[in-house]
Amino acid sequence: MSARAKRYTIHVVDVFTERPLAGNQLAVVLDAEGIPAQAMQRIAKEMNLSETTFVLAPEGAGNAARVRIFTPGSELPFAGHPTIGTAWVLFTQGLVPGGALEFALEEGVGPVHVRGEHWAGGVRFWMTHPKVSFGEVVSDRAAAAAALGLSEDQLVPDVPIQVASTGLPHVYVALKDAKAIDAAVSEKERLGKVFREGVFLFAPRGENQLYSRMFAPHVADIYEDPATGSASGPLGAFAVKYGLVKRSSTVSIVSEQGTKMGRQSFVHIELAYPRQGDFPSRIEVGGSVVPTLTGELAGGWEDQDRVTQ
């Protein structure tokens, strides 16, 4: 490696938690101009976290940054905890113009608006989701349950197994209780035979409280995700649509996720509803961020066009 090779600052943070070594890990590479996409993918694989983000100069006037999001296996157009975590890193490092608490990050789905709020533990960030859409219904409920290592009678009756999305689709499976959620098994081959999207399991756990897990080994090599912000916005809309959370003009939900895998997370969901219609007029997902590591990523490989396999 050349002695003059650029070095990149990298922050590792835990998202959707108020304590370190919980929540969902994220690596944020700052000032990533000059890193080609192939190298970004290799870095994400090297980090081996559910996502790694790369911060670039914004293309649109008034936006704080452009952000590219990579799992160890592919690039994503949008994701929740990378948006929240990257926003927090930019703000706490003084990299948001004017120190603004509200700004936009350019992602593959377009500008994603975030806002920060001060609270006793520091600054909590919220992201605004694009409009929610509801898609395909999985009609074979017995096969869907079996793919999760469950029986059909553990599903909530009269609630469809259905795809929903605000940019990154997931299929939502409502189960009767937390015991059924914890009994589910993430197995790549079985899930891939029934589902094309990541599978989000949830159960009501008290008023406006949900207990959740997310499996995606068949689409992103993620056997379980500790906290899935991109799925939590549609989760709130799905739960309200099918009567698992009571509808009102403003709905506040907390989704506990990652507990089974030892990385307990709390994802806050805020929905606003017009007087008529099934679709919320506003969806926000928020949470706390805890720093765990700061370091330097050695450069010198930016001009490599390909890697020998």
Residues 6+ apart with CB under 8 A from 158: 242
Cα–Cα distance for residue pair 187/54, rounded to 1 Å: 30
Cα–Cα distance for residue pair 283/247, rounded to 1 Å: 14
C-beta of residue 166 within 8 angstroms of C-beta of residue 131: yes
232: alpha, beta or left? (left if phi > 0; alpha if psi -120 to 50): alpha
Hey, CA dihedral for 119, 244, 155, 160, is it positive or negative? negative
184: alpha, beta or left? (left if phi > 0; alpha if psi -120 to 50): beta
Structure-token pair, residue 141? 């409920």
Structure-token pair, residue 197? 């999207």
Q: Residue by residue, what is the 3-state secondary structure of 3-34?
A: CCCCEEEEEEEEECCCCCCCCEEEEEECCCCC
Positions marked active-site: 51
Cα–Cα distance for residue pair 2/108, rounded to 1 Å: 33
**What would you report as the CA-atom Rg of the chain, rounded to the nearest whole angstrom?**
19
Cα–Cα distance for residue pair 31/65, rounded to 1 Å: 10
Q: Give the Å distances, CA to CA, from 295 to 47, 197, 244.
A: 13, 34, 44
| Short-list 176, 64, 44, 68, CA closest to 125 | 64
Residue type at position 191: L
Structure-token pair, residue 206? 């008290």
